[in-house]
Structure 1
Amino acid sequence: GIITYVNDYFAEISRYSPKELVGQPHSIVRHPDMPKIFFKILWDRIQHGHNFIAAVKNLAKNGRYYWVFTDFEVLKDEDNTPIGYKASRKKISKYVTDILDPIYKKLVEIEKESGMEASQKYLTDFLESYGNDITVDNMLEEIHRLY
Protein backbone atom coordinates (compact mmCIF):
# COMPACT_ATOMS: atom_id res chain seq x y z
CA GLY A 1 0.00 0.00 0.00
CA ILE A 2 0.88 3.64 -0.44
CA ILE A 3 0.97 6.12 2.44
CA THR A 4 -1.70 8.78 1.85
CA TYR A 5 -1.73 10.59 5.19
CA VAL A 6 0.76 11.07 8.03
CA ASN A 7 -0.15 12.33 11.49
CA ASP A 8 2.30 14.06 13.83
CA TYR A 9 2.95 10.91 15.89
CA PHE A 10 3.92 8.82 12.86
CA ALA A 11 6.20 11.58 11.57
CA GLU A 12 7.81 11.95 14.99
CA ILE A 13 8.56 8.27 15.63
CA SER A 14 9.62 7.52 12.05
CA ARG A 15 11.84 10.63 11.86
CA TYR A 16 10.46 11.37 8.40
CA SER A 17 8.54 14.50 7.52
CA PRO A 18 4.97 14.00 6.29
CA LYS A 19 6.12 15.25 2.88
CA GLU A 20 8.77 12.49 2.73
CA LEU A 21 6.24 9.77 3.63
CA VAL A 22 3.09 10.64 1.67
CA GLY A 23 3.11 8.82 -1.65
CA GLN A 24 5.70 6.27 -0.50
CA PRO A 25 5.03 2.55 -0.05
CA HIS A 26 4.59 1.41 3.56
CA SER A 27 7.77 -0.62 3.11
CA ILE A 28 9.76 2.61 3.53
CA VAL A 29 9.62 1.94 7.29
CA ARG A 30 9.81 -1.86 7.15
CA HIS A 31 12.48 -3.27 9.44
CA PRO A 32 14.42 -6.31 8.16
CA ASP A 33 13.57 -8.14 11.43
CA MET A 34 9.90 -8.26 10.41
CA PRO A 35 8.96 -11.63 8.89
CA LYS A 36 7.39 -11.57 5.43
CA ILE A 37 4.72 -14.04 6.55
CA PHE A 38 3.48 -11.38 8.94
CA PHE A 39 2.75 -9.00 6.06
CA LYS A 40 1.18 -11.78 3.98
CA ILE A 41 -1.23 -12.54 6.83
CA LEU A 42 -1.91 -8.83 7.33
CA TRP A 43 -2.71 -8.18 3.66
CA ASP A 44 -4.78 -11.37 3.35
CA ARG A 45 -6.93 -10.24 6.29
CA ILE A 46 -7.49 -6.64 5.30
CA GLN A 47 -8.01 -7.36 1.59
CA HIS A 48 -10.85 -9.66 2.67
CA GLY A 49 -12.42 -6.85 4.69
CA HIS A 50 -11.21 -7.83 8.16
CA ASN A 51 -9.62 -5.32 10.53
CA PHE A 52 -6.29 -6.42 11.98
CA ILE A 53 -4.12 -5.42 14.92
CA ALA A 54 -0.40 -5.98 14.86
CA ALA A 55 2.80 -5.40 16.76
CA VAL A 56 5.24 -4.02 14.21
CA LYS A 57 8.96 -3.30 14.37
CA ASN A 58 9.69 -0.40 12.03
CA LEU A 59 12.82 1.33 10.81
CA ALA A 60 13.16 5.08 11.31
CA LYS A 61 14.86 7.39 8.83
CA ASN A 62 17.88 7.69 11.14
CA GLY A 63 18.42 3.90 11.08
CA ARG A 64 17.03 3.23 14.56
CA TYR A 65 14.08 0.96 15.09
CA TYR A 66 10.83 1.49 16.94
CA TRP A 67 7.95 -0.78 17.90
CA VAL A 68 4.29 0.17 17.62
CA PHE A 69 0.91 -1.46 17.91
CA THR A 70 -0.87 -0.78 14.65
CA ASP A 71 -4.61 -1.03 14.24
CA PHE A 72 -5.45 -1.63 10.57
CA GLU A 73 -9.02 -0.57 9.83
CA VAL A 74 -10.65 -1.49 6.54
CA LEU A 75 -12.59 1.41 5.01
CA LYS A 76 -15.69 0.26 3.14
CA ASP A 77 -18.22 1.85 0.79
CA GLU A 78 -21.99 1.70 1.25
CA ASP A 79 -22.01 -1.82 -0.27
CA ASN A 80 -19.50 -3.00 2.36
CA THR A 81 -16.77 -3.32 -0.29
CA PRO A 82 -13.24 -2.45 0.92
CA ILE A 83 -12.07 0.84 -0.62
CA GLY A 84 -9.02 1.64 1.50
CA TYR A 85 -7.24 1.18 4.78
CA LYS A 86 -6.41 3.33 7.78
CA ALA A 87 -3.61 2.50 10.19
CA SER A 88 -3.48 3.94 13.70
CA ARG A 89 -0.36 3.47 15.78
CA LYS A 90 0.32 3.59 19.50
CA LYS A 91 3.21 2.83 21.79
CA ILE A 92 3.97 -0.70 22.85
CA SER A 93 5.59 -1.92 26.07
CA LYS A 94 9.04 -3.46 26.30
CA TYR A 95 7.38 -6.47 27.95
CA VAL A 96 5.50 -7.20 24.71
CA THR A 97 8.47 -6.54 22.41
CA ASP A 98 10.62 -8.88 24.52
CA ILE A 99 8.06 -11.63 23.85
CA LEU A 100 7.70 -10.97 20.12
CA ASP A 101 11.25 -10.12 19.06
CA PRO A 102 12.65 -13.69 19.29
CA ILE A 103 9.57 -15.12 17.56
CA TYR A 104 9.87 -12.64 14.68
CA LYS A 105 13.63 -13.28 14.39
CA LYS A 106 13.02 -17.05 14.23
CA LEU A 107 10.44 -16.56 11.47
CA VAL A 108 12.88 -14.39 9.47
CA GLU A 109 15.59 -17.03 9.90
CA ILE A 110 13.24 -19.74 8.62
CA GLU A 111 12.20 -17.57 5.66
CA LYS A 112 15.84 -17.04 4.68
CA GLU A 113 16.62 -20.75 4.90
CA SER A 114 13.41 -22.36 3.67
CA GLY A 115 10.97 -19.73 2.39
CA MET A 116 7.74 -18.16 3.50
CA GLU A 117 5.67 -21.37 3.45
CA ALA A 118 8.05 -22.92 6.00
CA SER A 119 7.74 -19.78 8.12
CA GLN A 120 3.96 -20.00 8.01
CA LYS A 121 4.07 -23.68 9.02
CA TYR A 122 6.38 -22.88 11.94
CA LEU A 123 4.05 -20.10 13.10
CA THR A 124 0.97 -22.32 12.80
CA ASP A 125 2.68 -25.16 14.69
CA PHE A 126 3.97 -22.72 17.33
CA LEU A 127 0.48 -21.35 17.95
CA GLU A 128 -1.12 -24.81 17.93
CA SER A 129 1.32 -25.88 20.64
CA TYR A 130 -0.58 -23.48 22.92
CA GLY A 131 -3.99 -24.89 22.00
CA ASN A 132 -6.16 -25.56 18.95
CA ASP A 133 -8.04 -22.28 19.16
CA ILE A 134 -4.98 -20.01 19.17
CA THR A 135 -4.65 -18.06 15.92
CA VAL A 136 -2.50 -15.13 14.83
CA ASP A 137 -5.51 -12.85 15.32
CA ASN A 138 -6.34 -13.85 18.87
CA MET A 139 -2.66 -14.07 19.84
CA LEU A 140 -2.20 -10.46 18.75
CA GLU A 141 -5.42 -9.41 20.49
CA GLU A 142 -4.19 -11.01 23.72
CA ILE A 143 -0.78 -9.35 23.41
CA HIS A 144 -2.54 -6.06 22.64
CA ARG A 145 -4.21 -6.29 26.06
CA LEU A 146 -0.74 -6.51 27.65
CA TYR A 147 0.83 -3.58 25.86
Structure 2
Amino acid sequence: MSDTRSGVRPSGKERHFKPEELIVSKTDLKGRITYANDLFLDLADFTEQEVLGQPHSLIRHPDMPRCIFKMLWDEIASGNEIFAYVVNMGKHGDHYWVYAHITPTFDAKHQVIGYHSNRRVADPKILKEKIIPLYAELRKIEEGAANRKDGMNAASRVLAQKLSDAGMAYDKFIQSL
Protein backbone atom coordinates (compact mmCIF):
# COMPACT_ATOMS: atom_id res chain seq x y z
CA MET A 1 0.00 0.00 0.00
CA SER A 2 1.32 3.45 -0.86
CA ASP A 3 1.42 6.34 1.54
CA THR A 4 0.23 9.76 0.41
CA ARG A 5 3.72 11.23 0.83
CA SER A 6 5.24 11.19 -2.64
CA GLY A 7 4.64 7.48 -3.10
CA VAL A 8 6.60 6.40 -0.01
CA ARG A 9 5.85 2.75 0.66
CA PRO A 10 6.39 0.80 3.86
CA SER A 11 9.83 -0.83 3.73
CA GLY A 12 8.92 -3.60 6.16
CA LYS A 13 11.93 -2.61 8.27
CA GLU A 14 11.15 -1.91 11.90
CA ARG A 15 13.15 0.65 13.83
CA HIS A 16 13.56 0.55 17.60
CA PHE A 17 14.44 2.88 20.43
CA LYS A 18 15.41 2.28 24.04
CA PRO A 19 12.85 1.85 26.84
CA GLU A 20 14.32 4.81 28.72
CA GLU A 21 13.96 7.10 25.69
CA LEU A 22 10.94 9.29 25.05
CA ILE A 23 9.69 10.63 21.71
CA VAL A 24 8.15 14.08 22.12
CA SER A 25 6.26 16.27 19.69
CA LYS A 26 3.88 19.20 19.91
CA THR A 27 1.35 20.47 17.41
CA ASP A 28 -0.99 23.38 16.92
CA LEU A 29 -4.76 22.92 16.88
CA LYS A 30 -4.70 21.74 13.26
CA GLY A 31 -2.11 19.07 13.98
CA ARG A 32 0.85 20.89 12.42
CA ILE A 33 4.12 20.09 14.14
CA THR A 34 5.52 22.93 16.26
CA TYR A 35 8.17 20.88 18.09
CA ALA A 36 9.86 17.52 17.62
CA ASN A 37 12.67 16.21 19.79
CA ASP A 38 15.84 14.63 18.41
CA LEU A 39 14.58 11.07 18.92
CA PHE A 40 11.46 11.83 16.85
CA LEU A 41 13.66 13.23 14.09
CA ASP A 42 16.15 10.34 14.23
CA LEU A 43 13.51 7.57 14.11
CA ALA A 44 11.57 9.23 11.33
CA ASP A 45 14.68 10.27 9.33
CA PHE A 46 13.52 13.87 9.04
CA THR A 47 15.26 17.12 9.87
CA GLU A 48 13.63 19.69 12.09
CA GLN A 49 13.21 21.98 9.06
CA GLU A 50 11.36 19.21 7.20
CA VAL A 51 8.79 18.62 9.97
CA LEU A 52 8.07 22.02 11.50
CA GLY A 53 4.77 23.33 10.17
CA GLN A 54 3.93 19.98 8.56
CA PRO A 55 0.90 17.90 9.58
CA HIS A 56 1.70 15.23 12.18
CA SER A 57 0.19 12.77 9.70
CA LEU A 58 3.55 13.12 7.93
CA ILE A 59 4.56 10.01 9.91
CA ARG A 60 1.25 8.15 9.52
CA HIS A 61 1.74 4.51 8.57
CA PRO A 62 -0.87 3.23 6.10
CA ASP A 63 -1.55 0.21 8.35
CA MET A 64 -2.80 2.48 11.13
CA PRO A 65 -6.62 2.37 11.25
CA ARG A 66 -8.26 5.69 10.48
CA CYS A 67 -10.91 5.01 13.13
CA ILE A 68 -8.22 5.00 15.83
CA PHE A 69 -6.95 8.41 14.68
CA LYS A 70 -10.50 9.75 14.61
CA MET A 71 -11.03 8.59 18.17
CA LEU A 72 -7.71 10.13 19.24
CA TRP A 73 -8.55 13.49 17.68
CA ASP A 74 -12.10 13.47 19.09
CA GLU A 75 -10.74 12.86 22.59
CA ILE A 76 -8.00 15.46 22.61
CA ALA A 77 -10.15 18.07 20.84
CA SER A 78 -12.62 17.60 23.71
CA GLY A 79 -9.88 18.45 26.19
CA ASN A 80 -9.17 14.87 27.28
CA GLU A 81 -5.94 12.91 27.30
CA ILE A 82 -5.64 9.52 25.61
CA PHE A 83 -3.25 6.60 25.48
CA ALA A 84 -2.90 4.51 22.32
CA TYR A 85 -0.65 2.16 20.45
CA VAL A 86 0.45 3.72 17.17
CA VAL A 87 2.60 2.54 14.28
CA ASN A 88 4.45 5.40 12.60
CA MET A 89 6.37 5.48 9.34
CA GLY A 90 9.58 7.37 8.69
CA LYS A 91 10.65 9.31 5.64
CA HIS A 92 11.99 6.23 3.85
CA GLY A 93 9.23 3.77 4.79
CA ASP A 94 10.69 2.24 7.95
CA HIS A 95 8.20 1.86 10.79
CA TYR A 96 8.26 2.02 14.56
CA TRP A 97 5.63 1.21 17.17
CA VAL A 98 4.95 3.48 20.12
CA TYR A 99 2.76 3.63 23.19
CA ALA A 100 1.55 7.22 22.95
CA HIS A 101 0.20 9.54 25.62
CA ILE A 102 -1.47 12.49 23.90
CA THR A 103 -2.74 15.50 25.80
CA PRO A 104 -4.21 18.86 24.92
CA THR A 105 -2.13 21.93 25.78
CA PHE A 106 -4.10 24.64 27.58
CA ASP A 107 -3.55 28.38 27.90
CA ALA A 108 -4.08 30.39 31.11
CA LYS A 109 -7.84 30.54 30.41
CA HIS A 110 -7.98 26.74 30.04
CA GLN A 111 -8.53 26.96 26.28
CA VAL A 112 -6.95 24.22 24.16
CA ILE A 113 -4.14 25.81 22.12
CA GLY A 114 -2.38 22.71 20.83
CA TYR A 115 -1.44 19.12 21.60
CA HIS A 116 1.51 17.36 23.19
CA SER A 117 2.51 13.73 22.70
CA ASN A 118 5.00 11.61 24.61
CA ARG A 119 5.71 8.20 23.15
CA ARG A 120 7.39 5.25 24.80
CA VAL A 121 8.49 1.85 23.57
CA ALA A 122 5.46 -0.36 22.93
CA ASP A 123 5.36 -3.78 24.58
CA PRO A 124 6.08 -6.32 21.77
CA LYS A 125 3.90 -9.01 23.40
CA ILE A 126 0.88 -6.68 23.59
CA LEU A 127 1.48 -5.62 19.99
CA LYS A 128 1.69 -9.19 18.71
CA GLU A 129 -1.19 -10.64 20.72
CA LYS A 130 -3.67 -7.74 20.84
CA ILE A 131 -2.94 -4.59 18.87
CA ILE A 132 -1.65 -5.84 15.51
CA PRO A 133 -4.54 -8.32 15.05
CA LEU A 134 -7.09 -5.68 16.13
CA TYR A 135 -5.65 -3.03 13.83
CA ALA A 136 -5.53 -5.49 10.91
CA GLU A 137 -9.21 -6.29 11.47
CA LEU A 138 -10.14 -2.61 11.62
CA ARG A 139 -8.13 -1.80 8.47
CA LYS A 140 -9.80 -4.65 6.59
CA ILE A 141 -13.20 -3.20 7.49
CA GLU A 142 -12.09 0.28 6.47
CA GLU A 143 -10.71 -0.92 3.13
CA GLY A 144 -13.79 -3.03 2.37
CA ALA A 145 -16.20 -0.10 2.37
CA ALA A 146 -17.37 1.88 -0.64
CA ASN A 147 -15.51 5.00 0.54
CA ARG A 148 -13.06 6.10 3.23
CA LYS A 149 -15.64 7.76 5.47
CA ASP A 150 -18.00 4.77 5.43
CA GLY A 151 -15.06 2.47 6.14
CA MET A 152 -13.88 4.54 9.07
CA ASN A 153 -17.40 4.67 10.50
CA ALA A 154 -17.91 0.91 10.07
CA ALA A 155 -14.60 0.16 11.79
CA SER A 156 -15.49 2.60 14.58
CA ARG A 157 -18.75 0.72 15.17
CA VAL A 158 -16.91 -2.61 15.32
CA LEU A 159 -14.41 -1.19 17.81
CA ALA A 160 -17.23 0.31 19.92
CA GLN A 161 -19.02 -3.06 19.94
CA LYS A 162 -15.85 -4.90 20.99
CA LEU A 163 -15.36 -2.45 23.85
CA SER A 164 -19.02 -2.72 24.84
CA ASP A 165 -18.81 -6.53 24.80
CA ALA A 166 -15.75 -6.30 27.06
CA GLY A 167 -17.59 -3.87 29.33
CA MET A 168 -14.97 -1.16 29.15
CA ALA A 169 -14.20 2.18 27.58
CA TYR A 170 -11.22 2.53 25.24
CA ASP A 171 -8.94 4.02 27.89
CA LYS A 172 -9.68 1.15 30.29
CA PHE A 173 -9.10 -1.36 27.48
CA ILE A 174 -5.66 0.13 26.71
CA GLN A 175 -4.73 0.22 30.40
CA SER A 176 -5.81 -3.41 30.81
CA LEU A 177 -3.34 -4.71 28.22
With normalisation by structure 2, the TM-score equals 0.75
Partner of 1:82: 112
1:60-75 to 2 correspondences below 5 Å: 60-75=90-105
Task: Determine which of 81, 88, 91 is the counterpart of 1:58.
Answer: 88
**Over aligned residue pairs, what C-alpha RMSD do you find?**
1.2
Partner residue of 2:143?
112
Instruction: Give CA-to-partner distance per residue, 1:55-91, whole Å, 9 cap, x none.
Output: 1001111211110111112111222211111111111
What is the identity, as a one-letter code, of the residue corresponding to 1:136?
Answer: Y
- Tell me, yes or no, if structure 1 residue 25 matches structure 2 residue 55: yes
The structure with the greater share of residues assigned to helix is 1
Percent of aligned pairs with the same amino acid: 36
Which structure's relative contact order is higher, taking Cα pairs within 8 Å and 6+ residues apart? 2
Q: Which runs of 5+ in 1 are unaligned?
A: none
TM-score by length of 1: 0.90
CA distance in 1, matches of 2:52, 2:100: 18
The equivalent position to 2:126 in structure 1, one of 96, 113, 122, is 96
In the alignment, structure 2 segments of 5+ residues that lack a partner are 1-30, 146-150
Q: Which secondary structure state, in structure 2, belongs to the residue aligned with residue 83 of structure 1? A: strand
- Number of corresponding residues: 141
Deviations 1:21-61 (A, max 9, x none): 11111111100111111111111111110011111001111
